[in-house]
């Protein structure tokens, strides 16, 4: 947690601050994935960096760790949430104007600055696009600093694609090579069918000089890392974002521990070689 | 011939082949284009070719009785298409349809196969490359089959 965040919370990192929901947006047709834009009632908040997460607290229900999916210029923070458990399903029912608790930001960030002067490969699977979206925003804001930028995005089906409007916008921009694929097409789907690793295998970047950031289900990250290495991207320049059950977010409780690493404190963004052994251990 | 040789030299699939081998393979190739909607090959037809897709997208489809053809994979520029020519009974197992104008290098695989029988060094070099391609596609198909993006149980992780 940043010093400013601790100061803002009066050195009580376990105490959530009240934030108001400014906007709610459905990302998929049934609303299972939705995006909140949040602002602090206090008017002050620590600025999150791409890849970090906040603990979102629905009073009386529970708390969940959710990655930042955009960082607005005015201090508002955007989170994209998939309703899969008791807390996130309850969050699905909240509307604009309601107040939730926020702790954070926590964790490590994507090494965007390290990608300067290099080709950048972003590989996202499913809702894993959300933690990478702030990277895309940061890169597009300083596009001249980077070489080729490739975004490979895979989803289960066309109806599961999130940020559709933004994808359409990125698709027509020349600054970004956006490749989208789905595991299962539909009759009206005109795009690619196949897994995200195939998009990486097609290349279009200088692997020896590239840096890669990968976010999605663990099996997708493992196979993506293999594809990247086949294309010449060094393992130490491949970064992954890990998901575990985060509770305290401070590295105390141990719920998110993977070997010697606390995902909430030492991650969620790790260099691939640090996490590679964990990918080979079942139920770790 | 020169143009085909340059095309092959620019493809990672052929990396490591000697110039003499590349020239030989290029001798079995021809440029061929397909309009959108045209089939490159159909299921059960003799598999006597393989393709290097230079540009455009190709849909691999399987016939599903009473339903629209199911696309299980799309291929694009730089991808290799077709390995049924390597394995008896040398018949295509799926349809391949151009989704948009597609430009390819088409290889006379039946003739090349015969050549490979008489030139085991070339045969082995090409077999290694196609085996790698088959393994990559097999891994991709397994991943696709695993349904890795299905909803998990409970609020574990970063939820986005």
Tokens 């391609």 locate to B133
CA A165, A171, A174, A176 torsion: positive or negative?
A: positive
How many beta-carbon pairs below 8 A join chains A and B?
Answer: 114
Q: What is the mean pLDDT of residues A188-203?
A: 90
**Closest residue in B to A192 (Cα–Cα):** B74
- What average pLDDT score do residues A45-68 get? 92
**Higher per-residue confidence, B10 vs A238:** A238
Res A277: pLDDT = 83
Residue B44 lies in a domain: yes
Question: Residue A117's pLDDT band (boundaries 50, 70, 90)?
Answer: very high
Chain segment B83-131, per-residue pLDDT in tens: 999 999 999 999 999 999 999 999 999 999 999 999 999 999 999 999 9
Residue A202: per-residue pLDDT: 84
Contact (CB<8Å) A81/B143: no
Q: How far apart are CA B83 and CA B85, in angstroms?
A: 5
| Rg, C-alpha atoms of chain B | 18
Contacts of B154 in chain A (CB under 8 A): 84-86
Query: According to the model, what pLDDT value does residue B158 have?
Result: 65
* A81 contacts on B by Cβ (under 8 Å): 159-160
Inform me whether the C-beta atom of residue A21 falls under 8 Å from chain B C-beta atoms.
no
Q: Pairing state of beta strands A192-193 and A53-58?
A: unpaired
Q: Which of A73-87, A128-142, A244-258 has the lowest mean pLDDT?
A: A244-258
Residue B156 has a pLDDT of 62
Say whether residue A200 is in contact with chain B using an 8 A CB cutoff. Answer: no
Partner-chain residue, chosen from A81, A155, A223, that has the shortest CB–CB distance to B143: A223
Structural domain of B138 = 2-145
Q: Which of A130, A197, A220 sits opposite B160 (nearest CB)?
A: A130
A183–B71 CB contact, under 8 Å? no
Q: Is residue B113 part of a domain?
A: yes
**What is the complex's ipTM, to 2 decimals?**
0.86
A15 vs A280, residue with greater confidence: A15
Question: Is there a contact between B155 and A126 if contact means CB atoms under 8 Å apart?
Answer: no
A79-116: per-residue pLDDT in tens? 999 998 899 999 999 999 999 999 989 999 999 999 99
Q: Is the pLDDT of residue A4 over 70?
A: no
Residue at B101 is within a domain: yes
Chain A partners within 8 Å of B143 (Cβ): 195, 197, 219-220, 223
DSSP state at residue B76: -
- Looking at the domain assignment, is residue B160 inside a domain? no
Taking only the tens place, the pLDDT of each residue in B30-52 is: 999 999 999 999 999 999 999 99
Closest of A154, A114, A152, A122 to residue A240, by C-alpha = A122
**Structural domain count of chain B:** 1
Contact A34, A23 (CB under 8 A): no
Residues 84-143 of A with CB under 8 A from B: 84-88, 125-127, 130-131
Whether residue A8 has pLDDT greater than 60: no
**Is B27 contained in some domain?**
yes
User: pLDDT at residue A2 above 60?
Assistant: no
Residue B157 lies in a domain: no
Whether B150 and A156 lie within 8 Å, measured CB to CB? yes
> Measured between CA atoms, how close is A278 to chain B, in angstroms?
16
Q: What is the pLDDT of residue A106?
A: 93
The pLDDT tens digits of the residues spanning A150-162 come to: 999 999 999 999 9
Q: Cβ B160–A85 below 8 Å, yes or no? A: no
B156 and A244 in contact by Cβ < 8 A?
yes
Distance from CA of A88 to the nearest CA of B (A): 7
Average pLDDT value over all residues in chain A: 90
Taking CA–CA distances from A263, the nearest residue in chain B reads B157
- Chain B interface mutation, best of A34, A79, A84, A200, highest count of B Cβ atoms under 10 Å: A84
Nearest to B76 among A67, A202, A245 (CB): A202
Question: Which residues touch A249 (CB under 8 Å, ≥6 apart)?
Answer: A1, A13, A53, A55, A65, A103, A104, A106, A107, A264, A265
| CATH code of B109's domain | 2.60.120.10
Binned at pLDDT 50, 70 and 90, residue A197 comes out as very high
Q: pLDDT over 70 for what percent of chain A?
A: 95
Q: B-side interface with A, Cβ within 8 Å?
A: 12, 57, 59, 68, 70-74, 76-79, 99, 136, 139-140, 143-144, 146-160
Q: What is the arithmetic mean of pLDDT over B60-70?
A: 80
Residue B15, domain member (yes or no): yes
The pLDDT-based confidence of A53 (bands split at 50, 70, 90) is very high
CA of A130 vs chain B CAs: smallest distance (Å)? 5
Please check whether residue B158 lies inside any domain of the structure: no
Least confident of A33-37, A267-271, B25-29, B156-160: B156-160
What domains can you pick out in chain A, each with its CATH number?
A: 3-106 (2.40.30.10), 113-249+263-279 (3.40.50.80)
Pairing between strand B29-34 and B102-108? antiparallel
Q: How confident is the model at residue A243 (pLDDT cuts 50, 70, 90)?
A: confident
* A62, A197, A244: residue with CB nearest B157: A244
Residue A132 is inside which H or E element, if any?
A: helix A129-141
């Amino acid at each position: 947690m940043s010093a400013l965040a601790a100061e803002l919370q009066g050195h009580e990192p376990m105490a959530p601050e009240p934030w108001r929901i400014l906007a709610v947006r459905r990302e998929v047709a049934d609303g299972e994935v939705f995006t909140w834009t949040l602002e602090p009632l206090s008017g002050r908040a620590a600025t999150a960096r791409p890849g970090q997460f906040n603990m979102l607290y629905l009073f009386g229900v529970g708390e969940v760790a959710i990655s930042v999916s955009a960082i607005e210029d005015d201090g508002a923070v955007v989170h994209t949430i998939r309703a899969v458990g008791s807390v996130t399903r309850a969050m699905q029912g909240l509307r604009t104007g309601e107040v939730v608790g926020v702790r954070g930001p926590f964790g490590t960030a994507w090494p965007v600055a390290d990608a300067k002067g290099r080709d950048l490969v972003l590989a996202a699977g499913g809702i894993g696009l959300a933690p990478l979206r702030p990277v895309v925003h940061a890169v597009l804001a300083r596009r001249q600093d980077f070489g080729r930028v490739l975004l490979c995005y895979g989803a289960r089906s066309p109806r599961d694609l999130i940020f559709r409007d933004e994808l359409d916008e990125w698709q027509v921009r020349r600054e970004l090579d956006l490749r989208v694929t789905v595991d299962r097409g539909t009759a009206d789907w005109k795009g690619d069918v196949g897994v995200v690793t195939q998009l990486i295998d097609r290349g279009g970047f200088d692997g020896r000089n590239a840096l890669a950031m990968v976010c999605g289900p663990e099996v997708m990250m493992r196979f993506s890392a293999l594809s990247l290495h086949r294309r010449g991207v060094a393992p130490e320049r491949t970064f992954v974002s890990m998901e575990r059950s985060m509770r305290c977010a401070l590295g105390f409780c141990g719920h998110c521990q993977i070997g010697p690493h606390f995902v909430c404190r030492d991650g969620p963004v790790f260099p691939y070689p640090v996490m590679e052994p964990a990918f080979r251990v079942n139920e770790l | 011939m020169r143009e085909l040789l340059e095309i092959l030299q620019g493809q990672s699939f052929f990396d490591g082949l000697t110039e003499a081998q590349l020239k030989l393979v290029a001798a079995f190739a021809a440029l061929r284009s397909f309009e959108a909607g045209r089939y490159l090959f159909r299921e059960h037809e003799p598999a006597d070719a393989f393709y290097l897709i230079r540009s455009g997208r190709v849909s691999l489809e399987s016939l599903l009785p009473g339903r629209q053809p199911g696309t299980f994979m799309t291929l694009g520029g730089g991808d290799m298409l077709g390995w049924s020519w390597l394995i008896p009974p040398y018949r295509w197992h799926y349809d391949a349809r151009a989704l948009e104008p597609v430009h390819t290098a088409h290889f006379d695989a039946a003739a090349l196969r015969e050549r490979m029988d008489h030139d085991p060094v070339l045969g082995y070099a090409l077999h290694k490359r196609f085996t790698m391609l088959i393994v990559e596609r097999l891994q991709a198909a397994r991943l696709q089959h695993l349904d890795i993006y299905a909803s998990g149980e409970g609020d574990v992780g970063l939820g986005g």
